[in-house]
Amino acid sequence: MRQTHHHEAAHAVFALWSGLRVTDLRIGREELNGVMIEGVCAFVHGGVSDLALAEIYLAGPAVESMMDHNWNYNEINEDYLQAGLLLENVVEDITAVVAKVKQRVNSLFPEIDRLAKALLEHKRLDEHEIMQIARMPAWRLSK
C-alpha cells in the first residue's frame, strides 16, 4: 500500500530542516500539469544548495521505500528525476546521497510520522498547521 502521507510529510520535514517554508501539504488524487498525482508538498525553493534541494526530493521516495518493500511508482521516479538533474554536476554517485537521506529520515522519523498521521486525517494542512504539527527541533529553525 502506498504511503503517500509519509512521502509528502518527508518532503515537508526535510524542507523545514533546510530552513525553507512549507506552504501547503495535501494528499488525494489530482491532475497537475497533465499528470495524475497523489499528493503535493509545496515549499519555497530559494536560498539552499542544489544538494539540499535534491535531498528534499529524495526524502519522499526514501521513506516510502523504507516502509513498503514492494514500492515502484511513477511519481517516485519523478522525484528521482528531479534529484538527478540537480545532482548531475554536484556528485558522482547518487546512491551515497540516497544513503545519507535514509539516515536522516530515520533520525527525523518522529516528526515525519506525526505530520503524516495528521495529513492522513485532514487531507490538507496549511503552513501554520504544518509548523505546529511537525514541531521541528528549535536548533533546526534558528537560521
Q: Which residues have a Cβ under 8 Å from the Cβ of 56 and sit 6 or more positions away? A: 11, 14, 15, 18, 20, 43
Q: Are the CB atoms for 11 and 116 separated by under 8 Å?
A: no
Binding part of the chain for Zn ion, among 75-83, 88-96, 103-111, 126-134 by CB under 5 A, reads: 75-83
- Least distance to Zn ion, CB of residue 58, Å: 9
Q: Is 111 a residue that touches Zn ion (CB under 5 A)?
A: no
- Least distance to Zn ion, CB of residue 6, Å: 11
Residue whose C-alpha cell reads 511508482 in the numeric block = 73
Binding part of the chain for Zn ion, among 15-23, 27-35, 57-65, 96-104 by CB under 5 A, reads: 57-65
Reading across the β-sheet that carries 22-32, which strands appear in turn? 35-43, 22-32, 124-126
Binding part of the chain for Zn ion, among 25-33, 43-51, 71-79, 131-139 by CB under 5 A, reads: 71-79
Q: Is 79 a residue that touches Zn ion (CB under 5 A)?
A: yes
Q: Is 60 a residue that touches Zn ion (CB under 5 A)?
A: yes
DSSP for 47-74, written as a single string: TS-HHHHHHHHHHHHHHHHHH-TT---H
Task: Identify the bridge partners of residue 125 per DSSP, sorted by sequence position.
Answer: 25
C-beta closer to Zn ion: residue 5 or 111 = 5
Binding mask 14-53 for Zn ion (x = CB under 5 A): ----------------------------------------
- Is 25 strand, coil or helix? strand
**Binding positions for Zn ion, rule: CB under 5 A:** 60, 79
